[in-house]
Amino acid sequence: MSLKLRPLCDSFGAEVLDIDLSKPLDNETFSEIENAFDSTSLLLFRGQTLSEDDHVALSRRFGPLQAHVLKPYLSNTHPDLLVLSNIKDKGQAAGIGDAGQIWHSDTSYTETPCRCSLLLGREIPEPDGDRTFGDTIFRSACAAFDALPADRQAQLEKLTAPHSYIHYYKRKQAEGSARPDLTSEQVKEVPPVDHPVVMKHPITGRKAIYVNPGYTMKINELPESESQSLLAELFDYLNEPRFVYRHKWRPGDLIIWDNYATQHLAVGDYALPQRRLMHRTTVLLGEDARRRLTESRQRQAA
């Protein structure tokens, strides 16, 4: 088959039309989907009726899966599914209620960040007329890098930055999040790691601005004041409308986004009795892509 695609915005993203992901995908069709994903960085599939088994099986075709460090919020039946929800069952949270409410790229705090994430909207807050709630905003870090002048690109390519999940988590707690303290075992799973400020995509080869407000702590090569000034400048630049797509969720929407090429923000503008229930899988890089990422970093450090 030949995929029918509809662009979501000028710089990245596409909606895939007329496809039911709950039905078996032959290798040729999946290859078309994967190629479209690599070229657009984000794919939207509307009206999907995926079971948890379907969601996990589709995700595994993109690569091996990673269980999130927050084990209490994983699905009881599928440990590869992270539950994002504000719903409470007998006073207990069904999932992470404030997930992603700051700009970030999933697992940038790990040595080898994940390839992509697949997020399925199971329950979505009811809209109020034209106003929707619980939107997710995406921005293309590749398009943003490509639009920079060559001399600015060269400057940024000389820099590195530490990313830390613990830094993010403690900040969320300080802001009043109900998340429990991380255990010592969880802390050991996510030590801070350094990444280049400009990341070369291990599959497509495109370059992206790879710093985000969620996990990036500073710029290693700059004094503190200059470091924070540059980060603020880059975060503002990434928010320019030409790089941004805002998704208004409907039940049954599945979005796949590239964590090397994009960043995202969950809008927390809803509360019970407005219910939101999402399931997310996290897909790791395959062996060849992991090798290319390592080689690229070694060349950059030399």
Amino acid found at 216: T
Nearest CA to 103 among 184, 225, 181, 209? 209
User: Is position 106 annotated as part of the catalytic site?
Assistant: yes
Q: Is 163 a catalytic residue?
A: no
**Which of 195, 264, 279, 297 is flagged as catalytic?**
264
Q: Which of 106, 139, 258, 275 is catalytic?
A: 106
Among the listed residues 163, 206, 280, 297, the single catalytic one is 280
Instruction: Tell which residue, 245, 202, 209, 289, has the closest CA to residue 43.
Output: 245
The Cα–Cα gap between 37 and 19 comes to 15
Name the catalytic one among 104, 139, 163, 195. 104
Residue 296, beta-bridge partner list: none
Q: Is the dihedral of CA 205, 206, 208, 214 positive or negative?
A: negative
264 catalytic per annotation = yes
Residue 179 is a catalytic residue: no
φ, ψ for residue 42, nearest 5 deg: -155, 130
| DSSP state letter for 181 | P
Whole-angstrom Cα distance, residue 112 to residue 294? 9
Q: What count of residues does the chain have?
A: 302
Owner of token pair 């088959």: 1
Task: Name the pairing type of β-strands 277-283 and 88-89.
Answer: unpaired
**243 CB neighbour count, 10 Å cutoff:** 25
- How many other C-beta atoms can be found within 10 angstroms of the C-beta atom of residue 151? 7
> Catalytic residue positions?
104, 106, 264, 280
